[in-house]
Amino acid sequence: MLDKPKCMLTVDVEALALRAPAHHVDSLIYGRFNGEEWGIGRMMDIADKHQVKLTFFLDFAETELYGEDIIQAGRYIASRGHDLQIHCHYNLLENQVRNRFPEAAESYYTWYEDEAVSEFLVDYCLEQYRKCTDREPIVFRGGEYRVGKALLKKLKEKKVAADASYNYIRPVEKPMNRQFVFENGLFELPVAVLPEKEGIASKVLNFNEAHLYPVKEADLEPCLKEYEKVFREFYDCYGKNTLAAMVMHSWSFCYEKERFQSSGYMDRPNIYAAEFFDRFLAHFKGKYEFITAAQAVTAEEIHFSKTIDFDAVFSLHEQRESREKFKWIESFIKEKARGRRIIIWGKGWIEGRVMRIWNLSQQLDAAFYISRDADKKRLWRRKPVKTFEEAELSRDKDYVLVIANTRFPEIRDSLHEIGFVEFEDYIDIAQPLPDIENGNEEDKEYPACSICGGNKFVPFNSKRPRYCEGCGSVERNRTIPLLFSENLGTELLSKRILHVSPSRPERIFFEKTGAKNITTLDVRPQVKPDIVADLCDMPQVESESFEIVFANCVLNHVYDDNAALAEVCRVLKGNGLFIVWVMGSGGMCTTIDQEPAAWYGQETMDTYRVGTYRHYGERDFYHLLMRYFAEVHAFEKYDAPSEMSCCWYVCKKKNGAGKDV
Ligand SMILES: [Zn+2]
Ligand SMILES: [Zn+2]
């Protein structure tokens, strides 16, 4: 690949009231101090010097606070030729929402799941945006990186092309990803996240992240080195055609750790930050191509090869697991506290996620909260907010629940210093918890099986109710009808199909849909296929004789997957499709199974060379398929009964001969 890996520098432009004592727009957006500018103007000056364009996500909800000043900021960005897009801190539109929707939920955490409210939120931002420029907005980023299904649908309806909110804690904890497409065609440009590695939690590519952010002259070079490492890791992990979206804020040059920790303000320029940004661009502009969000949605090299069902992203199963977890925490704390007061300690209020999923604060009747924002926010949900010092905690009187989403060792350290013992005197939800039993799902009513229509499901190889008692299907079978009806088109079922390693539910499905041109193939005669042959070497099958080769959970089990793919290509006609599902490794890299005979047994291994040889990583599998096919598309399909999703790959053979391999 000749193209340089691509990086998108995004700047959230916002002046949240908590972040400065006064003159919010001037200090937090323009960084105006002592006649100098350390905000968006300075950023654009530096970017212009290197001919780099930045993408600014302007918080249009702040027109509620600052009126015309926000529109002016938008016009200023647009007039300087940088990319202006939409950011929206939903809570700032509280009055507007309450007036229009008296029934709207109390917490803004659910507004983006409500169609009517979402439509209003999007319309509001579009209206403000259009006051700034003649262009139409292309990308949206939710406040606190929050979005929901309803909001994402409205964005697409209103012709916004992409969302850029997905990151390591949204929508559910740590969903790693590269850019993808939602089922309605809306692109997602996730914030770049480095995978968890050797016990180090995953990290966001954030300009103000401690290890990437210089605070003195001597930090400048080491920080550049650190970025080199971070970029290398990122592109190694996801592949070079992944867009790295980096996060900055309009106050990024005005962040000073000590000042921030003592006051919560971003109101003192850090000259090294601006200096560093200059060096950063000088250093990396030759290596990486810096593109805007508007360019990203049209960049071919980034091709959005994966389409994901909404429900696979906003998984009910994971939400329920979180709910189970919080229910467990609630009873655990009540039991352990034994008459002591319960105190909730949060790191800022972004962790309100906990409150939304299971209203712990209400259930636990906390005495008060501890937060570093205590001096600015004395009350929260009618309870006092204190600093750690004011709280004067003691083991005899208090039990503490730490609700920060990520690990903050300083909170734990403070508690340990005053003698608190984990679980006995406090619990930190970011730490691993003891095993939690799942709730009783026996009398649950399930959605119908997409293959046989049955609705009795039982656990299979996991606690999840995956197995349909009617047809024997699991989710990787039940997503097949959905793949055809929602993505590929059912007319494909009349094509000549080579069905490799046919299972009972798949046979039922093909039979029901009237697919007539099916030829089954397996290396094991007892499966009773039409052709007994080894997929890795099947001279019995004529070249270019099928329009579709269908292989569900097969490639993991063949001894030579390259040979199998070459054979699949050979027997496919020009423009033919290979439709395939494989067991994943759960990561980006393919892993080799240490006990290949464990599932099918030694005899099957000895007789047919069938075993479990490998588990495919998402990136590696994509690259493997791209060696043989002209196009590879992935579809993450959601199975309602099990509340799990399966990623199907649909590969198109080049017209004429296969690719040279
Ligand atoms: Zn924001
Ligand atoms: Zn069934």
Give the pairing type, strands 631-639 and 644-652.
antiparallel
* Residues bordering ligand 2, an ion, CB closer than 5 Å: 449, 451-452, 454, 468, 470-471, 473
pLDDT confidence tier of residue 658, bands split at 50, 70 and 90: very low
Check whether residue 302 and residue 212 sit in a common domain: yes
pLDDT confidence tier of residue 202, bands split at 50, 70 and 90: confident
Ligand 2 center from residue 440 Cα (angstroms): 22
**Residue 373 pLDDT > 80:** no
Q: What is the mean pLDDT of residues 262-282?
A: 93
Lowest mean pLDDT among 146-150, 247-251, 330-334: 330-334
**Residue 173 pLDDT > 70:** no
With respect to residue 459, please indicate whether it lies within any of the assigned structural domains: no
Closest ligand (CA of 473):
2
pLDDT confidence tier of residue 410, bands split at 50, 70 and 90: confident
Task: Measure the CA–CA gap between 263 and 422, rounded to whole angstroms.
Answer: 29
With respect to residue 446, please indicate whether it lies within any of the assigned structural domains: no
Check whether residue 133 and residue 281 sit in a common domain: yes
With respect to residue 658, please indicate whether it lies within any of the assigned structural domains: no
pLDDT for the residue 303 = 79
With respect to residue 452, please indicate whether it lies within any of the assigned structural domains: no
Rounded to two decimals, the ipTM of the complex is: 0.94
Lowest mean pLDDT among 166-175, 289-298, 363-372: 166-175
Ligand 2 center from residue 548 Cα (angstroms): 24
Q: What is the mean pLDDT of residues 416-423?
A: 92
Tell whether omega for the bond before 171 is within 30 degrees of 0, i.e. cis: yes
With respect to residue 552, please indicate whether it lies within any of the assigned structural domains: yes
Residue 68 is part of which domain span?
Answer: 6-313
Check whether residue 105 and residue 237 sit in a common domain: yes
Check whether residue 396 and residue 518 sit in a common domain: no
Check whether residue 274 and residue 413 sit in a common domain: no
Where residue 632 sits, what CATH number does that domain have? 3.40.50.150
Number of domains composing the chain: 3
- Tell me the percentage of the chain whose pLDDT exceeds 90: 67
With respect to residue 639, please indicate whether it lies within any of the assigned structural domains: yes
Check whether residue 303 and residue 323 sit in a common domain: no
Domain C-terminal end among 393, 428, 463: 428
pLDDT confidence tier of residue 351, bands split at 50, 70 and 90: very low
Domain C-terminal end among 294, 313, 332: 313
pLDDT for the residue 400 = 92
Q: Helix, strand, coil % (nearest 5) of the chain?
A: 40, 20, 40
Task: Measure the CA–CA gap between 164 and 147, rounded to whole angstroms.
Answer: 10
pLDDT for the residue 464 = 81
Ligand 1 center from residue 8 Cα (angstroms): 17
Q: What is the mean pLDDT of residues 302-328?
A: 79
Average pLDDT, the chain: 89
pLDDT confidence tier of residue 364, bands split at 50, 70 and 90: confident
**Residue 177 pLDDT > 70:** yes
**Residue 361 pLDDT > 70:** no
Ligand 2 center from residue 467 Cα (angstroms): 8
pLDDT confidence tier of residue 72, bands split at 50, 70 and 90: very high
Q: What is the mean pLDDT of residues 307-331?
A: 79
57 CB contacts (<8 Å, ≥6 apart)?
10, 11, 12, 13, 85, 86, 87, 139, 141, 164
Ligand 2 center from residue 569 Cα (angstroms): 32
Burial of 582 (0-12, 13-18, 19+ CB in 10 A): buried
Where residue 188 sits, what CATH number does that domain have? 3.20.20.370
Q: Is the separation of the CB atoms in 334 and 364 below 8 Å?
A: yes
**Residue 581 pLDDT > 90:** yes
327 or 452: which leads in pLDDT: 452
Ligand 1 center from residue 145 Cα (angstroms): 7
Q: What is the mean pLDDT of residues 142-147?
A: 92
pLDDT confidence tier of residue 3, bands split at 50, 70 and 90: confident
Task: Measure the CA–CA gap between 17 and 24, rounded to whole angstroms.
Answer: 7
pLDDT for the residue 77 = 98
Q: Which helix (H) or strand (E) holds 272?
A: helix 271-284
Ligand 2 center from residue 471 Cα (angstroms): 4
* Residues bordering ligand 1, an ion, CB closer than 5 Å: 12, 14
Task: Measure the CA–CA gap between 144 and 141, rounded to whole angstroms.
Answer: 9
pLDDT for the residue 357 = 47
Check whether residue 487 and residue 412 sit in a common domain: no
pLDDT for the residue 200 = 67
**Residue 374 pLDDT > 90:** no
Check whether residue 525 and residue 626 sit in a common domain: yes
With respect to residue 438, please indicate whether it lies within any of the assigned structural domains: no
Rounded to 10 degrees, the C-alpha dihedral 320/324/325/330 comes to: 140
Domain C-terminal end among 278, 297, 313: 313
Task: Measure the CA–CA gap between 191 and 223, rounded to whole angstroms.
Answer: 20
Lowest mean pLDDT among 91-100, 169-178, 254-263, 354-363: 354-363
Q: What is the mean pLDDT of residues 634-651?
A: 94
With respect to residue 269, please indicate whether it lies within any of the assigned structural domains: yes
Ligand 1 center from residue 173 Cα (angstroms): 19
- Other CB atoms within 10 A of residue 406 CB: 15
Ligand 2 center from residue 480 Cα (angstroms): 12
Check whether residue 270 and residue 218 sit in a common domain: yes
Residue closest to 476 by CA, chosen among 416, 391, 552: 552
Ligand 2 center from residue 161 Cα (angstroms): 37
Q: What is the mean pLDDT of residues 183-203?
A: 83
Check whether residue 234 and residue 338 sit in a common domain: no
Check whether residue 19 and residue 35 sit in a common domain: yes
Ligand 1 center from residue 29 Cα (angstroms): 12
Ligand 2 center from residue 476 Cα (angstroms): 12
77 or 323: which leads in pLDDT: 77
Check whether residue 527 and residue 632 sit in a common domain: yes
